[in-house]
Amino acid sequence: MVGVMELLRENRRRMEESTAPYDPISGHDEPGRYYFPVKGLECWLPLEMRREELVIELSRLGSLDEYFAEMGGAGSDEMRERVMEQWTRLRCRHDFPFWAATFAYIKRKGGGDDVPFILNRPQRRLVGVLEGMRRAQRPIRLILLKARQWGGSTCVQLYMAWLQLVHEKGLNSLIVAHQGTATDEIMDMFDRMLSHYPAKYLHEQDEDYSDDEKKLVRAGGFGSAFRVVARNCKVKVGTAERPNSCRGGDYNLVHCSEVGLWPSTKRKTPEDLARAATAGVLLRPMTMIVYESTANGTGNFFHTEWNAAKSGESQFAPMFVAWYEIEQNSLPFSSPEEEERFAADLIAGREAEQPLSSRRQPGQYLWWLWEKGATLEAIHWYVSERAKYSDHGQMASECPSDDVEAFVHSGARVFDKYKVEALRAGCCAPAMRGEIDGDKPSGEGSLKNVRFNADPHGALAMWRDREITTMERVTDRYLVVVDIGGRSLTADWSVIVVFDRAPMAHGEGPEVVAQWRGHTDFDLLAWNAARIAKYYDNALLVIESNTLETHDPDRSGGSEQSSFILNRLRDAYDNLYARKRNEDEIRQGAPVRYGFHTNVNTKPMVISMLVQAIREGQYVERDEGCLAEYMVYEQRQNGSYGALPGHHDDMLMTRAIGLHICYQEMPTPRIVMRTSGGNPYCPRPVSAAVF
C-alpha cells in the first residue's frame, strides 16, 4: 500500500516538473532538442536544425567570432547584424516557441501592455502534436477536445500565422468561430500581433521594404477577409451563425473553433458548415484543418468526429487537454501539515465509491485523479471548485478529467468505468477474420458442409476457434446470442456473439471467442447465426426477438415473417432458444415462442446481470468496442436504459442477454464421453488466440 511519505515525494517530483522554468529563447531542456554550444549563440535547438548549412558551419568553428574571421571580416556591426538576422530567420523557421516569444505579441490578461506569446504546458503539448505532423511532411489534421481557459484557440491561430508569415507565401487561412463576438476577438488578436511584427521579417532577407508599409488590408475592401500584403496571403474569419461566411475557397489552413457549440438549423447543420469550410483544402503537406472545442453533449458533429479520430477511422489525430494540466487549476496548501493530512485522507478514501454529499466526489474518483497524474495541489483545487456545483456533470462540463467525462450527460452512468477499464486487459485483436459458410446462403442447405473461410475483410472476428475432440465433449459449452439491427449502413448494427462456457466448469467466467457484426437482411442474419452456432458444436442459439415482434420499416417485414423464419430455423436447427412457458400456457397448449424477448421486465433483469458481471469480473471480453458501449450507457430519468444519442448498444445487449443465460438458465458445463464414433469436426488450433 502506498504510504503518505511516498505520496508526498512523488508529489514534489510532479510539482517540480509542472513548475519548472520555461525559456523558449534558450530552449533549455525541452524535448526534441540538442545543446548547441557555439559561443555567442548557446542554446538548445530543434534536432532538425542540425542539417542546416549555417548550423553545420557554426558547429565546426565553435564561435561567432571564428565564423566572422573565416568570412574574411573582423565582425563589423553590419556583418554581425546580417548574420544575426540570418540566424534569427533560420531559427524562426524551425522553432515555433522561439518565434512566438520573439515576434508574436498578444493582449495581457487583466490589462496592461501587450506581452510576447510564451507557451504554457498544454500549448507546448499542442504545438508538439502539430509539429510532429508538419515535420513528417504530413497534412496537419487535428481534433482538439479541451478544458476551458488555457489558450488553445490562440495557440492554433498563431501557429497558422507562423506558417503564413515564416514558411510559405500565399497560404490562405480561414477561421470559423461559433459567434460574431468571437470573430471580432480573432481579428483583434491578428491585428495586434501584426502591429508589433517587424516589417523586414515579413519579407525575404535583402528584399526591399518600408517600416511604414501597410501590413494588413481588407480583401476586396469589405467583409471579414484581410490580406497580409507582404506575404500575399488572406486571413478570413467567419461565423457559424452566418453560414455563407464560412464557405471555403482557395484555403490551405482552416481552424474551426468551438465546433461543439455550432448551431444546427433546418438549413445548415454543423456537418454542412465544416464540409463547406474544408472542401477546398488539399490532402498534402503544409495544409491544416483543426476542429477545436469544449464538449457540448453527445451525438453531435463534434462528438462524432472525436470518436472517429479516437478509433483511428478519420484523417484527424485526437488530442485532449484535462483540467489538471492547466497551471492555474492548482490550490497551494497553507502548511506542510495540511498537505500531509490531505495526502493521508486521499489514501484512506481511495476505495470509497459513494460521495459524502452532492457537492463532493467519492474518494475513489479523487484517487483516480492522482493515478492519472494530477498533483495534490491540483486535486486540492478540484475539491474546492467542486463545492460550487451540486452535480458532477456541471463540473465535468467545465473541467473534464478525461474525454469520456467531457461529453457530459444528464443521465446516470450504468457501469462503473473503473470496472469497465479492468476488462480491457482481456481485449486484443482477433486471431483471424472470415465467414462461416455452408452450401447455400439461406435455407436448410446453408447448414450443410458448414466451414470457416478465412478472409481479412470478413465480418466474423474470431479470437478462439472451436475446440472439439472425437472422444469427449463439454456439455452446454458454446452459446450464440444475436442482436438484430437494420439493413442500411446508417441503421443499428446486427451482432452475433459466441461465448465459450468451458471455464465455468472450473469456477471461472465465460469468454467471448467470436463475433460477427454487420448489416444484412434478417433472414440472412438468422441463417448466418445458425451456421455459426452449428460450427461451434451445435451451440444454443438465442435470437433477441423484441425487434421481430414490433413492426419496423427499416427491417425485413413484421412479426408474421419473423415467426415464419424462426419456425423454419427451428425445423433446420434443433438447439434454438425458446422462452419458458408457465403452467397456464402449457395447460392451454400455447405455442412455443422462440427468441429472447427484451421488454420492460426482462431488460432491467439482464442489465442487472451485466452490471454484476462487470463489477465482479465474471466474464472475459475481447472487443474494445464493447467497452466503449459500456461507457456511454445510461439509466435515464424515467428509469429506462439506453445508449447516449449517437451511440449504439448492440454489442452490449448481446453480452447482457448472453451472460444472463450463461449464469441463470444454462446448466454448468460438464466433460462427458462422446457416445458416437467419429466426428464431422476437426479441431483448428489458433495459436495467436490461445491465452
CA distance 166 to 565: 68
Residues 290-317 have a mean pLDDT of 87
Confidence category of residue 353, pLDDT binned at 50, 70, 90: confident
The answer to whether 514 and 489 are in contact (CB under 8 A) is: no
Closest by alpha carbon to 452, among 361, 373, 535?
Answer: 535
Residue 589 has pLDDT above 80, yes or no: no
Give the residue ranges of DSSP H helices in 269-427. Answer: 270-278, 301-310, 336-348, 363-372, 376-386, 392-398, 403-406, 417-423
Question: What backbone phi and psi angles, to 5 degrees, belong to 153?
Answer: -65, -45
**Whose CA is closest to 261, among 291, 223, 225, 224?**
291
Average pLDDT taken over every residue of the chain: 87
Task: Read off the DSSP letter of residue 237.
Answer: E
Q: In Å, how far from its chain's centre is CA 40? A: 46
Higher pLDDT, 492 or 490: 492
DSSP code per residue over 630-644:
HHTEEE-TTS-EEEP
Task: Among 65-74, 238-247, 272-281, 362-371, name the most confident range.
Answer: 362-371
Q: What is the band of 59 on the pLDDT scale with cuts at 50, 70, 90?
A: very high
Query: Is residue 678 scored above 60 in pLDDT?
Result: no
pLDDT of res. 495: 96
387 phi and psi, to 5 degrees? -65, -15
Give the model's confidence band at 553: pLDDT under 50 very low, under 70 low, under 90 confident, else very high: very low
For the record, the C-alpha cell of 393 comes out as 456533470
**Mean pLDDT, residues 651-678:** 88
Distances (CA, A) of 230 to 66, 252, 550: 35, 18, 67
Least confident of 132-141, 345-354, 385-394, 425-434: 385-394
Which of 30-39, 131-140, 526-535, 668-677 has the lowest average pLDDT? 668-677
Q: Is the pLDDT of residue 554 over 50?
A: no
Average confidence (pLDDT) over 372-377: 96
Least confident interval from 35-49, 50-64, 177-191, 270-284: 177-191
121-160 pLDDT, tens digit each: 999 999 999 999 999 999 999 999 988 889 999 999 999 9
Q: What is the reported pLDDT for 578?
A: 87
- The helix/strand/coil state of 479 is strand
In this structure, of 195-204, 250-259, 631-640, the range with the lowest mean pLDDT score is 631-640
Beta partners for residue 516, in sequence order: 460, 496
Whether the per-residue pLDDT at 683 is higher than 90: the answer is: no
Read off the amino acid at residue 63: S
Q: What is the pLDDT of residues 526-541, one digit of tens each?
A: 999 999 999 999 999 9
What digits encode the pLDDT tens for the residues 610-619?
999 999 999 9
Q: Specify the pTM.
A: 0.73
Tell me, what's the pLDDT at 682? 39
Q: Name, in order, each residue with C-beta under 8 angstroms of 113's C-beta and a sequence gap of 6 or more.
A: none
Q: With a cut of 60, say whether residue 5 has pLDDT above it.
A: yes
Least-confidence region, from 109-123, 256-270, 449-463, 666-680? 666-680
| 252 confidence band (pLDDT: 50, 70, 90) | very high
Q: Supply the pLDDT for residue 490.
A: 67
The proportion of the chain whose per-residue pLDDT surpasses 70, expressed as a percent, equals 89
Q: Which domains does the chain have, with CATH numbers?
A: 20-94 (no CATH), 96-322 (3.40.50.300), 327-408 (no CATH), 426-669 (3.30.420.240)
Q: Is 60 exceeded by the pLDDT of residue 524?
A: yes
- The tens digit of pLDDT for each residue in 202-222 reads 999 989 989 888 988 887 655
The pLDDT of residue 552 is 39
